[in-house]
Structure 1
Amino acid sequence: MNELAIISSLLDNDFYKFTMQNAVIKLFPLAKARYEFINRGKHFFPGNFVDLLKKNLDKMANLKLSNEERIFLEKNCPYLDSKYLDFLDQYQYNPKEVNVFQKGKNIQMYIEGLWSRTILWEVPLMAIISELYYQLTGAKRFSDKKIIHLTRKKLEKYKRLNVKFGEYGTRRRFSYQIHKLVLEVLIREGKTFFMGSSNVHLSHIFSIKPIGTHGHEWIMFHAAKYGFNIADKIAMKNWLNIYGKNLGIALSDTYTSPIFFKNFDKKLANLFEGIRHDSGDPLLFVKETINHYQKLKINPLQKKIIFSDNLNPCKVARISSFCKNKINPFFGIGTNFTNDVGLPSMNIVIKMVKAFPKKKWTSVVKLSNVKEKSTGKKNTIFLAKKILHIS
């Protein structure tokens, strides 16, 4: 067993975790959050899994932002101000915030503490769980040569389609080594089509700008604080207050797209440069988005949709063809880049389940456009649907 730490940099994480952390520190510094691990794929974990997971968590406590990494963020992310970078300079993971247990072949995990601190755990934890799982189960993957070949074939397809895309695959990658290998190919051969990676550490290594927007937890917290009906709207307004014209992609499916569009008024639709699609029929979503912009007398060809829902070359071809001359599509491709190695990819998530916005813990839910991607307690989901008039 390789005893090297799976996570070797504080920045080995998705970019949107840092942009959300900055916003949380500025707007909700005393808020708390609780996250839980959800084993959607019902994977069985080897007997010593949690022991090795805990060893990796303990090693993460030693990670610190280096001076080089700070300079990289200052240069490439000027909207992350010096106060936030000072915070990140002092930040260290605290493994006591993570509680993990193993019962037979199942693991249970929850993370709890100040939201401004615990927000960084989700992505590296999932990357550790994924890499450890493949190490311990000993399944044989494709050779590096074949993975490079597959990545090149995908690149050729995307070039023929003339689409722009980024790599979003940190959380369910096969391993750090495969992630780095794939990214090397994308950067070297992607030219004008490849827009960058959501992984900040690898973006630093390869001297490219990290990309990303914000996650569902941003809106879920706003629902706990302000109510389901207006969570989307207040979350977007708060995002604009922090970032202005930067990072202008709105997330559309925390409480289903119809609820999002009710909140996405003309002012917000003008201020945000586009929308992210993360669940449900993508072609139907394109139609709904175009109709919404047209109703607001906004030209859809001046806007973009970022697609990020379990993409592969066939899906990208279908979506890009449908969007042609209607709206500008961009594609955030994750697992199909970083875990296409000849083995089933893991179906795991870590989601916020409770928030403490002010005086008490409140259960939070994500409804999504498809039932399988919804999270939260059944009674809270029922309540949210009732309030939002969702059948």
Structure 2
Amino acid sequence: MNNFSAVSSLLDNDFYKFTMQNAVIKLFPFAKVKYKFINRGQHSFPKDFSKILRENLNKMAYLKLSNEERVFLEKNCPYLDSSYLNFLNKYQYNPKEVNIFQKGENIQMYIEGLWSNVILWEVPLMAIMSELYYKLTGADKKISEKKITNITKEKLEKYKKLKVKIGEYGTRRRFSYRVHKIVLKTLINEGDSFFIGSSNVHFSHIFSIKPIGTQGHEWIMFHASKYGFNIADRIAMENWLNIYRGKLGIALSDTYTSPIFFKNFNKKLSNLFKGVRHDSGDPISFAKETIKHYKKFNINPIKKKIIFSDNLNPYKVSCISSFCKKKISACFGIGTNFTNDIGFPSMNMVIKMVKALPEEGKKWISVVKLSNVKEKSTGKKNMIFSAKKILRI
């Protein structure tokens, strides 16, 4: 087990972590944050899990951006400028930023430090935890490449019939690195023109495809700690535009519920952003609301897009695409259903920002995510109550 290594490249991470890191360095270079591991699925972790996890984290300190990887980013992501790529060239994971505790079958984990440094931990950490969990419970010994390929092909056939655009978003809760690679290879070989890419930058490099993604909830959660709940969405979007000048123009819609997002998504932003991402709540209701919102500003919804990314499978995609047809462009980011659907229950866990220190010398502020569904909300109960009161939810 000591030879086990689930992450072997600095780029084995979701693309939006790098795009956010670039923006953080430029706008909030001295901000500090704290993240917490949340075991939503109440998984029981095997004995010595934290010890083996720690060994893996320590190995990550040796990961470096290769020249070949830098060239890939320069060619495929021109909006990541040379100052950021120079930063990434020197970047190293610091395992001291991660504190792990195991008591019986429970794991507690916190990550703390400069936001520009610790932002990259979340996704590879979860990928390691997921793979390690299946290895230590013996599940990984029973899977053949043929089985993984066939399961993926079966889904692809359904998506082909629906004629929908799909992307792969499944790094954080993948069954294993090996399964992820086989799934992606199948998607690329069999996906024809409707497979739009992967959020994983390392695999995008290996398979010579463009990585996909924009920003995550933490981007808006941090803005709430600095500017307040009411205008967090708007300032987060404006800052994003200032950094990327219209590139990576998909706005995330549910950090403080969609109604609050749409209040912030004014005419200027609605025009400048190419579309929105849906990540919680009823997708059809959200599509209706989005179409109504664009029409209010005399914007033709068919020229805009919604990227759906909430726990998707072929049935859900079928329902959503059927509704959106000829009304608004729809794309689908499919995660765990691609990378961890091989006969074992998938893990339900997240790592979320819980505190922020926007400026040195100020107090740490508890941050929350409200989401469109109660189960996906995160943060201290009193802060969630306070945020709902301020936002009149």
TM-score by length of 2: 0.98
Match of 2:128 in 1: 128
Give the C-alpha shift of residue 9 in structure 1: 0.2
Residue 109 (structure 1) aligned with residue 109 (structure 2): yes
Match of 2:49 in 1: 49
Match of 2:26 in 1: 26
- Equivalent position to 2:383, from 377, 380, 385: 380
Q: Is the 8 A contact 1:142 1:342 kept in 2?
A: no
* Two-structure CA RMSD over aligned residues (Å): 0.7
Match of 1:345 in 2: 346
Residue 203 (structure 1) aligned with residue 204 (structure 2): yes
Instruction: Write out per-residue CA displacement over residues 209-268 of structure 1, whole angstroms, 9 at most, x where no aligned residue.
Output: 000010000000000000000000000000000001210000000000000000000000
Query: In the alignment, residue 52 of structure 2 is paired with which amino acid?
Result: L
Instruction: Write out per-residue CA displacement over residues 146-204 of structure 1, whole angstroms, 9 at most, x where no aligned residue.
Output: 21111011111111100001000000000000000000000011110000000000000
Q: Is the 8 A contact 1:141 1:342 kept in 2?
A: no
- Equivalent position to 2:372, from 369, 377, 381: 369
Instruction: Name the stretch that deviates more: 125-134 or 140-149.
Output: 140-149
- 4+ runs of 1 displaced by more than 3 Å? none
State the SS of the aligned residue for 2:261: helix
Give the C-alpha shift of residue 360 in structure 1: 1.7
| Residues 167-182 of structure 1 mapped to structure 2, 5 A cutoff | 167-182=168-183
Match of 2:70 in 1: 70
State the SS of the aligned residue for 1:192: helix
Quick one: distance in 1 between partners of 2:289 and 2:278? 11
Give the C-alpha shift of residue 142 in structure 1: 4.0
Identity of aligned residues (%): 77
Quick one: distance in 1 between partners of 2:319 and 2:88? 41
Query: In the alignment, residue 154 of structure 1 is paired with which amino acid?
Result: K
Question: How many residue pairs are counted as aligned between the two chains?
Answer: 390
Q: Is the 8 A contact 1:46 1:105 kept in 2?
A: yes
Query: In the alignment, residue 56 of structure 1 is paired with which amino acid?
Result: N
| Residues 1-391 of structure 1 mapped to structure 2, 5 A cutoff | 1=1, 3-139=3-139, 141-358=142-359, 359-390=362-393
Quick one: distance in 2 between partners of 1:146 and 1:2? 28
Quick one: distance in 1 between partners of 2:356 and 2:246? 28
Q: Is the 8 A contact 1:353 1:365 kept in 2?
A: yes
Quick one: distance in 2 between partners of 1:269 and 1:24? 23
Give the C-alpha shift of residue 122 in structure 1: 0.1
Q: Is the 8 A contact 2:355 2:366 kept in 1?
A: yes
TM-score by length of 1: 0.99
Unaligned runs of 5+ in 1: none
Give the C-alpha shift of residue 270 in structure 1: 0.2
Quick one: distance in 1 between partners of 2:236 and 2:308? 20
Quick one: distance in 2 between partners of 1:245 and 1:362? 31
Q: Is the 8 A contact 2:20 2:219 kept in 1?
A: yes
Quick one: distance in 1 between partners of 2:171 and 2:10? 14
Instruction: Write out per-residue CA displacement over residues 10-34 of structure 1, whole angstroms, 9 at most, x where no aligned residue.
Output: 0000000000000000000000010
Unaligned runs of 5+ in 2: none
Quick one: distance in 1 between partners of 2:351 and 2:308? 21
